[in-house]
Amino acid sequence: MTIPSTQDPTSARPAALPLRPELAGEEPYGAPQLDVPVLLNVNENPYAPAEDVVATIAADVAEAARGLNRYPDRDFLPLRAALADYLARESGVRVAPEQVWAANGSNEVMLHLLQAFGGPGRTALSFAPTYSMYPEYARDTHTRWVTGRRAEDFTLDPEHAVATIEAEQPSVVLLASPNNPTGTALPAATVEAVLEAASRVRVPDAPDGAGAVVVVDEAYAEFRRTGTPSALELLDRYPHLAVTRTMSKAFAAAGLRLGYLAGARPLVDALRVVRLPYHLSAVTQAAAGAALKHTESLLAQVDALRAERDAAVAWLRAQRGPDGAPLVVAETDSNFALFGTFPDRHAVWQGLLDRGVLIREVGPDGWLRVSIGTPQEMERFRTALTEVIEELSS
Ligand SMILES: *Cc1c(COP(=O)(O)O)cnc(C)c1O
| Spatial CB neighbours of 361, under 8 Å, sequence gap ≥ 6 | 345, 346, 349, 368
Q: Which atom of ligand 1 is nearest to the CA of 108?
A: 7
pLDDT at 10: 57
Q: What mean pLDDT value characterizes the chain?
A: 95
Chain segment 176-185, per-residue pLDDT in tens:
999 999 999 9
126, 132, 136, 180, best to mutate for ligand 1 pocket (most atoms within 8 Å of CB): 180
pLDDT at 117: 98
pLDDT at 7: 55
Q: Is the CB of 105 under 6 A from ligand 1?
A: yes
Identify the band that residue 204 occupies on the pLDDT scale cut at 50, 70 and 90: confident
Chain segment 312-341, per-residue pLDDT in tens:
999 999 999 999 999 999 999 999 999 999
* CATH 3.90.1150.10 residue window(s) in the chain: 30-47+301-393
Chain segment 32-66, per-residue pLDDT in tens:
889 999 999 999 999 999 999 999 999 999 999 99
Q: Is the CB of 180 under 6 A from ligand 1?
A: yes
136, 182, 218, 249, best to mutate for ligand 1 pocket (most atoms within 8 Å of CB): 249
Q: Is the CB of 217 under 6 A from ligand 1?
A: yes
Alpha carbon distance 120, 139 (integer Å): 10
**Residue 1 pLDDT more than 50?**
no
- CA-based max dimension of the chain: 75
Binning the chain into helix, strand and coil, the percentages to the nearest 5 are 40, 15, 45
Tell how far the Cα of 316 is from the centroid of ligand 1, in angstroms: 25
Taking alpha carbons only, the member of 191, 203, 80, 215 closest to residue 137 is 215
pLDDT at 140: 96
Alpha carbon distance 367, 41 (integer Å): 14
* CATH 3.40.640.10 residue window(s) in the chain: 51-298
Task: Label residues 132-165 b or e (16+ Cβ within 10 Å = b).
Answer: ebbbbbbbebebbbbbbebeeebbbbbeebbebb
Tell how far the Cα of 133 is from the centroid of ligand 1, in angstroms: 9
Domain 51-298 belongs to what topology? Aspartate Aminotransferase; domain 2 (3.40.640)
User: Which of the pair, 308 or 16, is modelled with greater confidence?
Assistant: 308
Average of per-residue pLDDT across 171-190: 97
Report, at the CATH architecture level, how domain 30-47+301-393 is classified.
Answer: Alpha-Beta Complex (3.90)
Q: Please answer whether residues 332 and 312 qualify as being in contact, where contact means their C-beta atoms are separated by less than 8 angstroms.
A: no
Taking alpha carbons only, the member of 293, 226, 292, 231 closest to residue 262 is 231
DSSP 202-222: --TTSPTT---EEEEE-TTGG
